[in-house]
Amino acid sequence: MKYKDTPFGKIPDSWELASISEVTELVTDYVANGSFASLAKNVTYKDEEDVAVLIRLVDYNNDFKGDFVFIDEHAYEFLGKSKLYGGEIIISNVGANVGTVFRCPQLQYKMSLAPNAIMVKFKENDDFYYFWLRSHAGQHMLHSIVTGSAQPKFNKTNFRDMLVPVPPRDQQDKIVSILQPLEEKIEHNNRINKNLEAQAQSIFKSWFIDAPESSSWETGTFSDIIDTMIAGDWGKDSPLGNNTEMVYCIRGADIPDVKSGNKGKMPTRFILPKNYVAKHLVAGDVVVEISGGSPTQSTGRIASISQSLLDRYDKGMVCTNFCKAMKPKSGYSMFVYYYWQYLYDKNVFFLYENGTTGIKNLDISGFIETEPIILPPVELVEKFDAFCHSVFDVIFANGLQNEKLANMRDALLPKLMSGEIDASDLDL
């Protein structure tokens, strides 16, 4: 196969080059709907549920689990040029994560595009260009049009002028046919994991909160079923002095990934060996985020440390100093985890935060010592614990499979998108 040089590397001679404007039927954004003055007059953001959701990068990062920003019917119709229906390609064009590419989901609400993002519709084969924009070459081209350092951004004009490859349509389709099943399997596993987590939470509520016999159970606090709490550690970013023990540090930002069965992107740090002895996490521990939060998201996010998670890492693990680890009594790990999650979903932790500006901190000692909870018979708690451990094993098995699928996809993506692997030669 013969190749030719392009701004994003060598591509096959049979592939053409075109600007985004030549291959798209629509490139739009929030400000396409009117002046800043008219937008401010006609669009009001709401925390409470309403007609439509503004789709933001943070929603993508939170796997579209809320907390959403809503708008009313008038605002939704005013933003007619940026309505979303599901499946559209969205690209973040402002901020630290500029260039992030994702597909708009299907939600139970009407949807509209939030500021700081561009929505793109291609004339044909959205799927191919979705993969290309996420490839190394696509990301390189997106970042080549970014301006600004304090606030990185790119505009629609520069985006429309950006060059993209245009393989023959049959090759586009073949590339998609190779990559799409990997994406679909990953999404399938994610849906299974979400359902398993929801089922476990539902069983917890059925067995312990809604159970008729719960009225006769003893009451107490989390301090009755938690043996110890362990402070986090951040250490150094490289070996320094006596900080020689390499560990992975689970942060609040890693909690959503861990809950989904994924490894997360935990950084490695170097801490004192004696601190590792005292602070390393073991199966059954639970990690709580004690600093951070927002007006709509409290502190108190929690992750369960399972053996399935620990097995994914080649070094030991501690939590950061913005988190704390709790060691429940034997057999109570899953009960603590799901009870804590139940109260978190009821926004109880807002009542235990201090600080009115900047970072909020959770009064975790006050919470575990004063928040009243029911204390069911130990045999029922242990039965629930055993059930949940089997659920977590499945969740993390799916997460491990997703990691392998993602590695395969990410290895194939640049080779297919550059023509290094000729998709037409692959017999799938």
Mean pLDDT of the chain: 92
33 Cβ contact partners less than 8 Å away, ≥ 6 residues apart: 39, 78, 79, 80, 81, 82
| Residue 364 CB-half CA count within 13 A | 21
Domain 3-166 has CATH 3.90.245.10: no
Q: Do residues 257 and 263 touch, judged by C-beta distance below 8 A?
A: yes
pLDDT at 245: 97
- What pLDDT does 209 receive? 96
Angle at 375 between CA 373 and CA 376, to 5 degrees: 135
Averaged pLDDT, 209-230 = 95
pLDDT of residue 135: 87
pLDDT of residue 260: 86
Report the percent of the chain where pLDDT is more than 70: 98
Check whether 428 has a pLDDT greater than 60: no
pLDDT in tens, 60-71: 987 887 689 999
Q: Distance (Å, rounded) from C-alpha 133 to C-alpha 305?
A: 35
Q: Is the pLDDT of residue 300 over 90?
A: yes
> Mean pLDDT, to the nearest integer, of 163-173?
92
Confirm or reject CATH 1.10.1660.10 for domain 204-376, answering yes or no: no
Identical topology for domains 3-166 and 204-376: yes
pLDDT confidence of 355, banded at 50, 70, 90? low
Collapsing DSSP states into helix, strand and coil, what is residue 373? strand
- Cα distances (Å, whole numbers) of residue 352 to 101, 230, 300: 37, 19, 9
Q: How much is the pLDDT for 150?
A: 82
Residue 175 confidence (pLDDT): 92
Joined together, the tokens standing for residue 272 give 């004192």
Q: 7 pLDDT band (50/70/90 cuts)?
A: confident
Give the residue among 359, 265, 351, 368 at the shortest CA–CA distance from 321: 359
Residue 288 has pLDDT above 70, yes or no: yes
pLDDT tens digits for range 308-341? 999 999 999 999 999 999 999 999 999 999 999 9
Q: Which of 114, 128, 121, 132 is nearest to 64 (CA)?
A: 114
| Residue 426 pLDDT level (bands cut at 50, 70, 90) | low
Token pair 């640049």 is at which residue?
414
Give residue 32's pLDDT. 96
Least reliable range by pLDDT among 137-146, 289-298, 379-388: 289-298
Structural domain boundaries in the chain: 3-166, 204-376
**pLDDT at 368 exceeding the cut of 90:** yes
Q: How confident is the model at residue 259 (pLDDT cuts 50, 70, 90)?
A: confident
**What's the one-letter identity of residue 230?**
I
Distance separating alpha carbons of residues 320 and 248, to the nearest angstrom: 9
Summarize pLDDT for 36-58 with one digit per residue, the tens: 999 999 999 998 999 999 999 98
Across the range 94-107, mean pLDDT stands at 92
pLDDT band for position 251 (cuts 50, 70, 90): very high
- Measured CA to CA, the distance from residue 63 to residue 256 in angstroms comes to 9
Q: What is the pLDDT of residues 104-156, one digit of tens each?
A: 999 999 999 999 999 999 998 999 999 999 988 899 999 999 998 788 999 99
Q: What is the pLDDT of residue 297?
A: 79
In this predicted model, what pLDDT tens digit does every residue of 398-413 receive, in sequence order? 999 999 998 898 888 8
Residue 427 has pLDDT above 90, yes or no: no
Q: How far apart are CA 56 and CA 61, in angstroms?
A: 9
* Side-chain half-sphere exposure of 317, counting CA atoms within 13 A: 29
pLDDT for position 221: 98
pLDDT higher than 60, residue 356: no
